[in-house]
């Protein structure tokens, strides 16, 4: 298993380009299941999760052609095997996103239940309840969700769905199911995340009739079929936020290109509170960090509030900031696994249920730490960049799931980082 060796203590400086968003790319890849014509995607990030999703789609009969490293076309004309097996779902929960489109286009789907993961139980009952409201017959047996359209209808039926909580992939699954359903579907309490909007934009370019994406009420008028289209994946706002935090923590100055601050208000506000100077351009963001950051408290909530996917990175920057801050996680019940590893680097963190009290220390010292999930790994990278001496981050396959060429990009900014194979 690869490890990352970081020699800390260098301020990040320079310019780096941000990749396409993992959490937009994954549902959009699944949208290719909805049409029998090619979907051309550009700005696709080269990530392990993306290749896992491409393999999953291929084994269902989707033809995948790579035109350039960040460009693929997918043609699901030959879709024949509506199955997402356990082996794949266990490595990537987002595989659940094939459920809605398979059911809508193929009338049937067998998808392994994702089960829990490092950050929480993460059930998918909202996805299932929504599909049942649209007339699907769903059985959960032997660890698999088996869903099919009622025999007398042969097609999903539009429905009014109010989800019990805001769920991002739940909203995306139901939106994809509804585009080919008979009649109108309304999803209330929908996730407003920009990735939901990017998916809706792609579906609309495929001929879907969707309004309200980006609000908590999405209206979808089902159509008979979708057609091929071209779509460019939005920039990754979490990758952007992660590099901003890395620059902030190391006292650096960076310019991130091919991205924008448009979807990062809550994160940018916190970095301003921490004492950073931020200049936003149309397709770039510049950040200049003060000599020492001020600690900033954050509370995670669905978009547009502060994202849970940036919580670990802010815990890392607070570890070396001046003062104390409280980090409150409200989305996932077990998303503080990075805290114990940060403590091994010398951080002062006390956990009380879903609150972490972080008191900044003058310095962190390098050590060997272990990554437990994607964003936890990102926080350890930030801490390693700040720490004196060498930090070795074990199990970096988590990072490879969601950060394209992380060591190359960090080196471009002057960091001393090496991958140990
Ligand atoms: N939930 C349920 N039942 C459901 C669905 C969700 O109880 O049927 C709960 C979850 O357990 C959680 C909360 O609702 O407590 C919100 O979960 P959500 O469904 O929104 O999360 P998700 O769709 O599984 C996506 C991202 C995550 C991100 C969350 C929250 C993708 C592929 N994943 O997950 O990204 O943290 O939304 O914003 O879009 C990451 O990139 O590192 C990552 C974990």
Residue 116, pLDDT > 80, answer no
Rounded to the nearest angstrom, the distance between the alpha carbon of 168 and the centre of ligand 1 is 6
Q: Full-prediction pTM beyond 0.95?
A: yes
Residue 376, pLDDT > 80, answer yes
Residue 253, pLDDT > 80, answer yes
The pLDDT, as a whole number, for residue 120 is 83
* CA 46 vs CA 207, 258, 264, 417: distances in Å: 27, 15, 22, 20
Which ligand 1 atom sits closest to the C-alpha of 307?
A: 38
The pLDDT, as a whole number, for residue 117 is 78
Of the candidates 117, 149, 202, 245, the residue annotated as catalytic is 117
The pLDDT, as a whole number, for residue 147 is 97
Rounded to the nearest angstrom, the distance between the alpha carbon of 94 and the centre of ligand 1 is 9
Chain centre distance of CA 227: 27
Rounded to the nearest angstrom, the distance between the alpha carbon of 124 and the centre of ligand 1 is 9
Give me the mean pLDDT over the 304-315 stretch. Answer: 98
User: Which among 57, 34, 54 has a CA at the least distance from the CA of 44?
Assistant: 54
Q: How confident is the model at residue 182 (pLDDT cuts 50, 70, 90)?
A: very high
Give me the mean pLDDT over the 255-264 stretch. Answer: 96
Q: How confident is the model at residue 154 (pLDDT cuts 50, 70, 90)?
A: confident
| SS3 of 79-132 | CCCCEECHHHHCCCHHHHHHHHHHHHHHCEEEEECCCCECCECCCCHHHHHHHH
Give me the mean pLDDT over the 237-253 stretch. Answer: 98
Considering only CA atoms, which residue is closest to atom 28 of ligand 1? 309
Mean pLDDT of all residues in the chain? 96
Residue 115, pLDDT > 80, answer no
The pLDDT, as a whole number, for residue 56 is 97
Range with the poorest average pLDDT among 24-33, 85-94, 272-281, 321-330 = 85-94
Q: Provide, rounded to the nearest whole percent, the portion of the chain with pLDDT above 90.
A: 94
Indicate the angle between helix axes 48-59 and 22-31, nearest 10 degrees: 10
Q: Is the CB of 267 under 6 A from ligand 1?
A: no
Q: Is the CB of 308 under 6 A from ligand 1?
A: yes
Residue 371, pLDDT > 90, answer no
The pLDDT, as a whole number, for residue 52 is 95
* CA 3 vs CA 117, 363, 402: distances in Å: 21, 23, 16
The pLDDT, as a whole number, for residue 240 is 98
Residues in the chain: 421
Q: How confident is the model at residue 61 (pLDDT cuts 50, 70, 90)?
A: very high
328-337 pLDDT tens trace: 999 999 899 9
Considering only CA atoms, which residue is closest to atom 7 of ligand 1? 123
265-305 pLDDT tens trace: 999 999 999 999 999 999 999 999 999 999 999 999 999 99
Q: How confident is the model at residue 37 (pLDDT cuts 50, 70, 90)?
A: very high
Q: Is the CB of 246 under 6 A from ligand 1?
A: no
Give me the mean pLDDT over the 182-203 stretch. Answer: 98
Residue 6, pLDDT > 80, answer yes
Q: How confident is the model at residue 153 (pLDDT cuts 50, 70, 90)?
A: confident
CA distance 293 to 289: 7
Q: Is the CB of 338 under 6 A from ligand 1?
A: no
Q: What are phi and psi of 184, to 5 degrees?
A: -100, 140
The pLDDT, as a whole number, for residue 121 is 82
Q: Taking a C-beta distance cutoff of 8 angstroms, is the pair 192, 239 a contact? A: no
Question: Which of 22, 122, 373 for a ligand 1 pocket mutation test, highest count of atoms within 8 Å of Cβ?
Answer: 122
**Of 115 and 228, the one with more pLDDT:** 228
Q: Is the CB of 167 under 6 A from ligand 1?
A: yes
Residue 326, pLDDT > 90, answer yes
Q: Provide, rounded to the nearest whole percent, the portion of the chain with pLDDT above 70.
A: 100
The pLDDT, as a whole number, for residue 183 is 98
The pLDDT, as a whole number, for residue 391 is 98
The pLDDT, as a whole number, for residue 1 is 83
The pLDDT, as a whole number, for residue 119 is 84
Is 148 known to be catalytic?
A: no
Q: Is the CB of 198 under 6 A from ligand 1?
A: no
Q: Is the CB of 374 under 6 A from ligand 1?
A: yes
CA distance 316 to 329: 14
Range with the poorest average pLDDT among 107-116, 203-212, 336-345 = 107-116
List the structure tokens of 397. 């396959």
């Amino acid at each position: 298993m690869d490890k990352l060796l970081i020699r800390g203590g260098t301020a990040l400086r320079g310019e780096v380009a941000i990749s396409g968003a993992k959490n937009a790319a994954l549902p959009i890849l699944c949208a290719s299941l909805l049409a029998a014509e090619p979907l051309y995607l550009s700005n696709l990030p080269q990530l392990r999760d993306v290749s896992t999703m491409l393999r999953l789609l291929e084994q269902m009969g989707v033809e995948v052609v790579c035109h350039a490293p960040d460009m693929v076309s997918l043609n699901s004309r030959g879709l024949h095997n509506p199955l997402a097996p356990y082996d794949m779902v266990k490595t990537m929960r987002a595989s659940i996103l094939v459920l809605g489109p398979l059911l809508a286009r193929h009338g049937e789907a067998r998808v392994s239940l994702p089960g829990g993961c490092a950050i929480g139980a993460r059930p998918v009952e909202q996805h299932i309840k929504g599909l049942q409201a649209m007339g699907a017959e769903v059985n959960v047996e032997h660890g698999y969700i088996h869903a099919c359209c009622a025999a007398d209808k042969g097609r999903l039926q539009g429905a009014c769905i109010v989800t019990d909580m805001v769920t991002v992939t739940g909203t995306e699954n139901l939106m994809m199911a509804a585009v080919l359903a008979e009649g109108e579907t309304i999803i209330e309490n929908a996730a407003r995340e920009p990735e939901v909007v990017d998916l809706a934009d792609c579906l609309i370019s495929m001929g879907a009739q969707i309004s309200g994406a980006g609000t908590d009420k999405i209206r979808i008028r089902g159509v008979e079929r979708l057609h091929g289209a071209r779509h460019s994946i939005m920039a990754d706002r979490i990758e952007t936020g992660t590099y901003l935090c890395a620059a902030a923590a190391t006292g650096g100055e960076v310019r991130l290109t091919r991205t924008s601050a448009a979807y990062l208000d809550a994160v940018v506000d916190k970095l301003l509170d921490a004492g950073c100077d931020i200049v936003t351009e149309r397709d770039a963001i510049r950040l200049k960090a003060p000599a020492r950051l001020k600690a900033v408290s954050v509370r995670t909530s669905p978009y547009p509030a502060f994202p849970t996917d940036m919580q670990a990175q802010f815990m890392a920057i607070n570890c070396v900031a001046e003062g104390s801050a409280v980090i409150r996680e409200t989305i996932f019940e077990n998303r503080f696994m990075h805290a114990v590893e940060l403590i091994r680097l010398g951080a002062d963190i006390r956990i009380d249920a879903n609150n972490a009290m972080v008191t900044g220390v003058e310095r962190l010292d390098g050590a060997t730490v272990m990554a437990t999930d994607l964003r936890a790994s990102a926080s350890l990278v930030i801490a390693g960049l700040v720490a004196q001496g060498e930090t070795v981050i074990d199990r970096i396959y988590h990072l490879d799931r969601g950060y394209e060429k992380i060591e190359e990009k960090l080196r471009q900014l002057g960091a001393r980082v090496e991958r140990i194979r």
